[in-house]
A and B are shown apart, each in its own frame.
Chain A
């Protein structure tokens, strides 16, 4: 029986024909910005999987804009596989009929519009992922055929420098380039020689010098002037009640004012407890300016970053022992590796919008499809972990297991830190998460939960710390949660006797049990109380963006 001759290099042949179609637009890799729409119409094909970089901070904004201008009769049905839907142009391509399907991680500001487009069937969502899940699928079934990325500079051969904001780019380009895909990069400048080669020219198909520098949003800067006494009180409890006893030395801080408060009382409160050199030496986190005092006073030894932060470039370059700086002196961030490091760290701590009585937490709000970003990856137990540390073994020993289980395990500390009420007297604690409603409204497979009640070990509110991992069963866990839910309806519905018993057993620790004096929780405890203070701590190396100046 004759079998039809099977062709095994269809992708390579297809790539060559795309490049052939582009040959009349450019003879080298450099494409003029006026020719981008024609380039896209030549090298993109309908139904392609496309990544339009779409990172947390950095965006290929010019190329994303140009993509909205292609003729939908020529290019349509694109399948977008990118981590962040942040710009309006990211969704314009759907409304114009250029793109149809979407696999992503986080949509932040575009969440309401995305929700509407999904309901109107203009966007068809494959799935909402965490960062590592999506990066992994680039190597499985969501490999981009064309990746459109952003970088700082390129030379005439196409060697590319991604610099401080390398972020998500490495897995994107590796998956694309090594499956005979096309990589098109917009750069801020063309140079004779790049400071270092972050992407070799072999991996790059086309380079476009954009007419404007690509915009980067300073999303990791928290002004110390806005930190409240309540946040400082909770920060003191975290250090005294968790970091100290467990010896937390490898950790990730989710971005927020609560964690900024912790960072800013390390040189003062944690120092007074003699904890320098014992906690917080290794962090997987973005280079938040509020880390500066803790770095300068010798608390933090090493920081690996998922992205960068505007204004921190000079400071980072001057601290190569702390950050991951290349041979050229400038940093290279890497979200995939940072997520990986954070997954296997001893502790994650972050905030959330809603928590139910099982301890499930969600940032989902009605009518908004926002996704998860990286939080679930940090905020979960790492069950594949095998190497031990003091914190991991201690939390493991303390954790309740099914009755007949004999095998001891370690456990990652997953901490949720919230005030019992948000602004406008909205309770954080609810009997039922909005996520359930969202699941119904958008016909999702599961309610969008950020951190599961099974994974959370500690819950911190202004009332105290609940050690949820020590609870025998769901009923106990529920009372432990109600016991720190303060005056919210969830909190007021507590069983007073059971909560008293949990306090006696040390499962709930209030400031008095922790030895934390709330009268000490004043802004005087902050090592820096303003952006200007942070600049002074850095000896002028930190140059805050203009919106943060008051001098």
Chain B
């Protein structure tokens, strides 16, 4: 197993969050992954922590996550991923689903 850690931002912190409960998307199967999003005091940063069964792709993960973070700018957010060898296509899909739920949960 490979453990990867990244930090992005800091981003501007938007209005105080209403609902700080965590959200989870995805299933840890072969070629799939689960993504947990939680709030934390990070001075506006996005922190990502990945545990993956496929080693040697930290560059790929960083590129995908950087693009995601630049686009979403989720301040004070911890993203934790358990990965079963998902391709970037699947990772991006789940990130998009997670982002949608996170925004619905927190920006209403």
Contact = CB atoms under 8 A, between A and B. Distances in A.
A and B touch in the complex (CB under 8 A): yes
Interface of A: 228-230, 233, 419-425, 462, 486-487, 492, 518-519, 521
A422 B90 CA distance: 11
Interface string B60-72: 1001100000000
B54 interface: yes
Interface in B60-94: 60, 63-64, 85, 87-90, 92-93
Nearest to A229: B93
B100 interface: yes
A425 B57 contact: yes
Contacts, number: 40
A419 B31 CA distance: 13
B96 A420 contact: no
Given A230-B90, A487-B64, A425 B54 contact: yes
Contacts of A230: 89-90, 93
Contacts of B90: 228, 230
Contacts of A487: 60, 63-64, 88
Given A487-B60, A487-B64, A519-B100, A425 B85 contact: yes
Given A424-B54, A519-B96, A419 B63 contact: no
B89 A486 contact: yes
A518 B96 contact: yes
A462 B91 CA distance: 12
A492 B63 CA distance: 9
Interface residues of B, number: 16
Contacts of B59: 492
A343 B73 CA distance: 49
Given A487-B60, A487-B63, A487-B64, A421 B96 contact: no
Given A492-B63, A519-B100, A421 B87 contact: yes
12 contacts: A229-B93, A230-B93, A233-B93, A419-B89, A420-B89, A421-B88, A423-B87, A424-B54, A425-B54, A486-B88, A519-B96, A519-B100
Nearest to A424: B85
Interface string B26-50: 0000010000000000000000000
Contacts of A229: 93
Contacts of B57: 425
A421 B100 CA distance: 25
Contacts of B89: 230, 419-421, 462, 486
A423 B84 CA distance: 11
Contacts of A462: 89, 92
Given A425-B85, A486-B89, 16 more contacts: A229-B93, A420-B88, A421-B89, A422-B87, A423-B31, A423-B87, A424-B54, A425-B57, A486-B88, A487-B63, A487-B64, A492-B63, A518-B93, A519-B96, A519-B100, A521-B93
Nearest to B31: A423
Contacts of B87: 419-423, 425
Contacts of A486: 88-89
Contacts of A425: 54, 57, 60, 85, 87
A434 B82 CA distance: 33
Q: Which of B59, B88, B89, B93 has the most CB atoms of chain A within a 10 A radius of its CB?
A: B89
Contacts of B93: 229-230, 233, 518, 521
A492 to B, nearest CB: 6
Q: Which of A228, A423, A424, A487 has the most CB atoms of chain B within a 10 A radius of its CB?
A: A487
Nearest to B56: A425
